[in-house]
Chains A and B, each alone.
Chain A
Amino acid sequence: MVDNFGRKSLPWGATGGSQMLDRATKIKIHDLMVKTRCTEETAISMNKQGEGFFWIGGAGEEAFGVSLGLQIRKGQGPAYDYLHLHYRGAPIAMAMGTEPIDQIRQMRATATDRYSGGRQFVEHFAIPEWNIVPVTPTIETQYLMAPGTAHVQRRFGGEGITVVTGGDAGTAEGDFHCCLNWASRPGEELPLLIIVTHNRFGISTPSSQVQASNELNRQAEPFGIRNSIHDGNDVEAIWAALEEAIAYIRKERKPYCLQANVSRIFGHSSATGANRVPEVDCITAFEDKLIKDGIMTRTEVDAVWKKWKEHLKECLAQVRQEPLPDGADIWRHVFAEPATV
């Protein structure tokens, strides 16, 4: 497969991922990828029809995100993994177990939106039961908070790790450099997976106008942080890469910086139209492979799409019935409740 930079062979091959994923896992991954994509497409059409103010999301990052989400040890507290996601985290969250309807609720900004009560853009998760800390709209600030949860985990012991994700353009912020620095202080190394998803753009600005190198993971080298770069559109390659990185962090209690090259198949967001663009679609690529390897038939693949499209229709019908928050609700959760002020 050729990645977004036109590279054929990627500097990865330590384990050869394809053999490691069994048939059932591949079918599950495919199911989650389609589930996520159908949710994103529903959100996009809601935006186009005036049923949601703004769409942004992880459409195109399903191979990477689902592979990561399925490898997370989910639970609450420092024994489990912490996730500091940016606004394209739906495939990760969905693989961990979020439901499409909750994303549709946030898209419509209903009172039933369990992540933000109708306050935030879609894909701004906050799930304490699974250590998914609030997604923040400010680019790169998550890279400053992630060392904090990792610091608690370092002290706590065990195998829990912190994962932080963000885009390529955002690494130009000093916060990315700060994260590498905090993660690698001698004797204080943090169990932190620092991920960059490279889609070659920040909104409309091509990465060639931002950075001299397309291998942003290599910024970790002077800090002595292990790092690697992968085709994030190739399920087997990215699964194996994540598996190796995560195993290293769990055991060694040291940081790792991983770049996944991904597609942005509906552009940046609804602000740029959210129309399909001609980039590699990781789901199509995975389906071709599943069919070629005799793991699924075209009919089975089509059935998965049908199932989730119908499910999303039901979700949307349900969410349309649900109320918007009351204006007076703005006073809730300014401080801990019962209010101390």
Chain B
Amino acid sequence: MATYAQGIRLALHYAEENLGLTDVFGEDVGPPLGGVFTATQGIKCAWNSPLDERGIIGMAIGIALAGGRPVAEIQFADYIFNTIDMLKLAGNLRWSSYGNYGVPLVIMTPVGAGIHGSIYHSHSFESMATHIPGFKIVAPSNALDAYGLMLSSIVDPDPVMYLKSKALMRVKSEHLIPGEPGDLAELNKRINAPIGDRSKWVPDWPAVEDYRVPIGKASVVREGSDLTVITYSRHVLECARAADQLRGEGISCEVIDLRTLFPVDWPTLRRSVAKTGRVLVVNEDTEVTNYGEHLIRKLTEEFFFDLQVAPRLLAGVNVPGVGISIPLEEASVPQYRDVLDTMRDVATQPGRGTTGEWPLLPETVFGRR
């Protein structure tokens, strides 16, 4: 029932009480605001940092080197680009010091378009983030996963990049976080900071419980046999909705919410692709050197002779930004209509198994593994 932002907040609360979380910080993360998306309201160890993204990552590394457990926020992923070499250092300190030091830290940052955020509140970051070895990278699509992945990220001994969707912040979860009240109005009253003077406000936290979504485990949100759709973050909602509609047309789509972008849950992807022989990856990052290309390359190498049709990537258009005007944003990042049409197209396109266009080695088609 909690919203996505509340899921994160509840996780930070649980972790500071039970899992040794020592610092939650970033621009406007501490009181009175509690984060531009309210995700850090009421957290005792939350504090405001200087407006200095490189310094924020450096501070997180330093805290982790000295035995703390920090969650650092970059206010929007749009502003993380000046920290790339700090992120590279966080990712390589364990390796470069031959295991002498590790840096257990979490960097969380809002990603993606969908809030009419113009050029600098619409950036995606997964294609860059997955290019930084040494990081684990997660991107939840709902409040329960946001909660469970945050707890797993905080206890992880290595750096974790936690990509949270701007567009999902206020979306309510279908599933309850263990221990949260069933009524959203009650939850809002108890843990949302009041408008106006907040100086005396203390949250009345529900007794949320330990619940972990393991890093590296995808979730099959719709089962199907005609097409494998691999997605994450806010496009999980679009793809699931499209799968439901296509079911009415007699098309059976399997939708996989990756949840962790690195390390990839290959077993789940393999199982699905071996079954369907058709692959579509959906995300909103720009399409050139897109993270989805990595998934497609690996799956093509492994399933080349089993694939019925060419794997497809539905991604953002490779232009310098997402314009604020609605038609511009809609033309830039995949919309529901694009998702629906592409899924239908890839699922129904004549497969090589039926046209016989490609030479077939019968024993290699389907289910070889």
Instruction: Establish whether residues B98 and A149, one from each chain, have CB atoms under 8 Å apart when the complex forms.
Output: no
Q: Which of A117, A136, A146, A150 contacts B89 (CB 8 A)?
A: A136
Beta-carbon contacts under 8 Å, A133-175 to B: 133-134, 136, 138, 141, 143-153, 174-175
A341 at the interface (CB under 8 A from B): yes
Supposing A148-B58, A336-B158, A341-B216 touch, asked if A133 and B50 sit within 8 A by C-beta, the answer is no
The smallest beta-carbon distance between A141 and chain B, in angstroms, is 6
Would A116 and B97 be within 8 Å (CB), given that A149-B66, A185-B50 are in contact?
Answer: yes
A128 in contact with B58 (CB, 8 Å): no
How many contacts A-B (CB < 8 Å)? 141
B45-58 vs A, Cβ < 8 Å mask (1 yes, 0 no): 00000101011011
Contact partner of B66 among A78, A126, A143, CB < 8 A?
Answer: A78
Binds B, one of A14-22, A211-219, A288-296, A327-335: A327-335
Nearest CB in chain B to that of A341: its residue = B263
Bound: A178/B68 CA distance, A: 21
A-B contact pairs, 5 of them (CB 8 A): A144-B54, A175-B58, A333-B98, A333-B99, A340-B215
Bound: A151/B70 CA distance, A: 12
Q: Does B80 contact A (CB under 8 A)?
A: no
* B59 and A144 form a contact (CB under 8 A): yes
Is A306 close to B, CB under 8 A? no
* Among A148, A151, A333, A336: residue with most chain B CB under 10 A: A148
Residues of B whose CB lies within 8 Å of any CB of A are 22-23, 50, 52, 54-55, 57-68, 85-86, 89, 93-102, 133-134, 136, 156-158, 215-216, 263
- Whether the pair A182, B65 counts as a contact (CB closer than 8 A) is no
A189 in contact (CB, < 8 A): no
Across the interface, do B52 and A181 meet the contact criterion of CB distance under 8 Å?
Answer: yes
The residue that A127 contacts in the complex, of B60, B61, B63, B100, with Cβ under 8 A, is B100
Contact between A182 and B59 (Cβ–Cβ < 8 Å)?
A: yes
Contact status of A145 and B101, CB under 8 A, knowing A334-B94, A341-B216: no
* Contact of A4 with B by CB under 8 A: no
- Chain A stretch 257-281: residues in CB contact (< 8 A) with chain B: none
Enumerate chain B residues within 8 angstroms of A78, measured Cβ to Cβ: 66-67
Known: A133-B101, A178-B52. A77 touches B58 (CB 8 A): no
- Report which residue of B68, B86, B97 has the largest number of chain A beta carbons within 10 angstroms of its beta carbon: B97
Residue of B nearest to A84 (CB): B62
Of A124, A149, A174, which contacts B65 at CB under 8 A?
A149
Q: Hey, which bits of chain A sit against chain B, CB under 8 A?
A: 77-78, 82, 113-117, 119-120, 124, 126-128, 133-134, 136, 138, 141, 143-153, 174-175, 178-179, 181-182, 185, 332-337, 340-341
Contacts of A147 in B (CB 8 A): 55, 58-59, 62
Given contacts A144-B86, A147-B59, contact A82 B98 (CB under 8 A): no
CB <8 Å contact, B50 and A182: yes
Compute how far the CA of A114 lies from the CA of B95 in the bound complex, rounded to whole angstroms.
12
B158 close to A146 (CB less than 8 A): no
When the two chains form their complex, are residues A336 and B96 in contact, meaning their CB atoms are under 8 A apart?
A: no
Q: Which of A126, A143, A145, A152 contacts B97 (CB 8 A)?
A: A126
Q: A145 near B52 (CB under 8 angstroms)? A: no
Complex contact A178–B55 (CB within 8 A): yes
Complex Cα distance, B68 from A209, in Å, reads 41
Do B99 and A148 touch (CB < 8 A)?
no
The chain B residue with its CB closest to the CB of A188 is B47
CA A341 to CA B158, docked complex, whole Å: 11
Are B59 and A152 in contact, CB atoms less than 8 angstroms apart? no
Once the chains bind, are B61 and A119 in contact (CB under 8 Å)? no
| Other A-B pairs, 8, CB within 8 Å; known A136-B93, A147-B58, A182-B52 | A78-B67, A126-B98, A147-B55, A148-B62, A149-B66, A178-B52, A332-B98, A335-B136
Q: Would B62 and A150 count as touching, CB distance under 8 A?
A: yes
> Which residues of the other chain, A, contact B23 by a CB distance below 8 angstroms?
151
Other-chain contact of A148, B66, B100, B134, B156 (Cβ < 8 Å): B66
CB distance from B79 to the nearest CB of A (A): 15
Chain A CB count within 10 A is highest, among B54, B57, B133, for B54
Which 8 A/B pairs are nearest by Cβ-Cβ distance? Answer: A148-B62, A144-B58, A117-B98, A126-B97, A152-B66, A336-B157, A126-B100, A333-B99
Assess whether A113 is in contact with B50, with CB atoms less than 8 Å apart: no
Residue of B with least CB distance to A76: B67
Shortest CB–CB separation between residue A296 and chain B, in angstroms? 37
Contacts of A119 in B (CB 8 A): 95-96, 98
Q: Is the pair B55, A181 in contact by a Cβ cutoff of 8 Å? A: yes
How far is A333 from B97 in the complex, measured between Cα atoms in Å? 9
Set A115, A126, A149, A174: member contacting B62, Cβ < 8 A: A149
Residues of B within 8 A of A146 (CB): 58, 62
The interface centre, meaning the residue of B61, B66, B100 with most chain A CB atoms within 10 A of its CB, is B66
Bound-state Cα–Cα, A22 to B102, Å: 40
Docked-complex contact A145 and B94, CB < 8 angstroms: no
Q: A134-B93, A141-B86, A175-B54 are in contact. Are A116 and B98 (CB under 8 A)?
A: yes
The verdict on A174 contacting B54 (CB below 8 Å), with A145-B62, A334-B94, A334-B133 known, is yes
Partner of A151, one of B63, B85, B157: B63
Docked complex Cα distance between A179 and B64 (Å): 17
Complex: A111 Cα to B59 Cα, angstroms: 32
**Nearest neighbor of A325 in chain B, beta-carbon distance:** B98
- Interfacial chain A residues near B66, Cβ < 8 Å: 77-78, 82, 148-149, 151-153
B58: chain A residues within 8 A (beta carbon) = 141, 143-148, 175, 178
Query: Using Cβ atoms and an 8 Å threshold, which residues of chain A touch B95?
Result: 119, 333-334
- Determine whether the beta carbon of A151 is less than 8 Å from that of B96: no
CB of A127, distance to nearest CB on chain B (Å):
7
- Of B63, B98, B134, most buried by chain A (CB within 10 Å of CB) is B98
In the assembled complex, the CB of A186 is this many whole angstroms from the nearest CB of chain B, namely: 12
